[in-house]
Amino acid sequence: MTIRLYNTLTRKKEAIKPFLDDSVSMYVCGPTVYGHPHIGNARAAIVPDILYRLLMAKHDSVKYIRNITDVDDKIIDAAKKEGLSIDKITSKYTKIYRDNMDRLSNLRPTHEPKVTDTISKIISSIEKIIKNGNAYVKDSHVLFDTDSFKGYGELSGKKLEEMLDGVRIDNASYKKSFKDFILWKPSEDDTPGWESPWGKGRPGWHIECTSMIKDILGDDTTLDIHGGGNDLIFPHHENEIAQGSCISKEKYCNHWFHNGIVLVNKKKMSKSLGNVILLDDLFKDNSTSVIRLALLSAHYRQPLNWSDQTIIYARNLYKKLLSVISMVDAKARPLDDADSHTKEIQDILSDDLNTPEAINYLSRLSKTARNDFEARVKLIHSMKFIGLSPINEKTVKIFSDTEEIEQIEALVKKRNEYRIKKDFKNADVVRDKLLSMGIELEDSDGDTTWNYLQD
């Protein structure tokens, strides 16, 4: 089944048709690293992660690029507030972001460019735009001349009057039109800056993403898929198309996808309302699979309304899924034909990433799985396909580590040998060792089974 995804640009579901025969490319606007990630950041990473998993199942090569924005006024403010250098702030929060996303079982992108590593490409992109007559220099600023690009407004469908509505009118003297946006701006002494043909300065936000894409794919390659939160459609992605089209012979990007906002009890998350939910706090009380299930419970294009119910529902469902999977199933799983076991969930997700339906499918599967080994194997693979752990997460490392399983079984055998010799003292020493590894034993009818301790 081909992957069909709603395209914000054409406003319909379309099959993904890569520009190159042998590879598909996806870019997602990544985090600005100055604070702890919240559930909104998590959703913006999990949605493309599901798409990435699907793309990998269907294509031999997938380039998945997610940038790190490490130059921004918010970072400068955070550095002042925390009394740390800008470098320290960005490396601290880049690490926290990656750790949080790893914990949520998001696969790492294949490329994670940083703005600060892309400055020379940004400068050459801006030079190209100026040379083509689509940008102008005024008072040490470089501005994109939106009137010179006739497709402006196509992605967001915004008319001039709406742009006037939605954007704080910036009557800066260096702008020819309020729609024009900054490609390069001057930096004062204590703010980060780089030498450029227009003086010491730093890039505008929009040109960063465009340049990172072009740096990796090349100027004259069309990006296949571009994603981000739907708050980025205007002006960020609209501006990306304008700039990117002016430095390339090819279309900037074919397929645009945008995820909806996360609301908390139907309200927008904001610092002033004090309702921002940080992942760090969620991790304290919930396993990561439960958080992941909760974040996938709404369709990605819809808003996700987060409430206590969201996490309770996810927790109960996860328990239900786990309750039918035994350690024996987990060990007996065939490793090599995962693809055939995940065909159904892949088909469901191939229709515009229908995660609510994929979750319903898992729930249905868990009912038949109770008495059906094949269904249990299918359930295990399907859960893993969307990044859910098929066993108690404290043991997820062990699950993937057969060496550790062999070690456990050797210890169980050893204990049984002691018991046969009626050496109960040593048998108990082995039992305690297993207990310290999070393994409990059950003796019945002269046989010993082991399992992972539940929370």
CB 70 within 8 A of CB 114: yes
Nearest to 226 by CA among 109, 65, 108, 3: 65
Nearer to Zn ion, 209 or 304 (CB): 209
Distance CA 344, CA 1 (A): 10
Is residue 341 within 8 A of residue 358, CB to CB? The reply is: no
- CB-nearer residue toward Zn ion: 33 or 282: 33
CB closer to Zn ion, 260 vs 438: 260
Cα–Cα distance measured from residue 340 to residue 336, given in angstroms and rounded to the nearest whole number: 9
Q: For residues 29 and 321, which CB has a smaller minimum distance to Zn ion in the complex?
A: 29
Handedness of CA 359, 363, 368, 372 (dihedral sign): positive
In the complex, the smallest distance separating the C-beta of residue 410 from Zn ion, rounded to whole angstroms, is: 52
In the complex, minimum distance from the CB of residue 46 to Zn ion, in angstroms, rounded to a whole number: 18
Q: Tokens 């319903």, residue?
A: 360
Question: Minimum CB separation from Zn ion for residue 27, in Å?
Answer: 8
CB of 236 to Zn ion, least distance (A): 6
Q: How far is the CB of 289 from Zn ion (least distance, A)?
A: 29
Residues that bind Zn ion (CB under 5 A): 29, 209
Nearer to Zn ion, 113 or 153 (CB): 113
- Which residue's CB is nearer to Zn ion, number 238 or number 393? 238
The CB-of-4 to Zn ion minimum distance in angstroms stands at 24
Least separation in angstroms between CB 58 and Zn ion? 25
The least distance separating Zn ion from the CB of residue 29, rounded to whole angstroms, comes to: 3
Q: Which is nearer to Zn ion, 130 or 213 (CB)?
A: 213
Question: 106: closest CA among 97, 114, 118, 116?
Answer: 97
Nearer to Zn ion, 226 or 384 (CB): 226
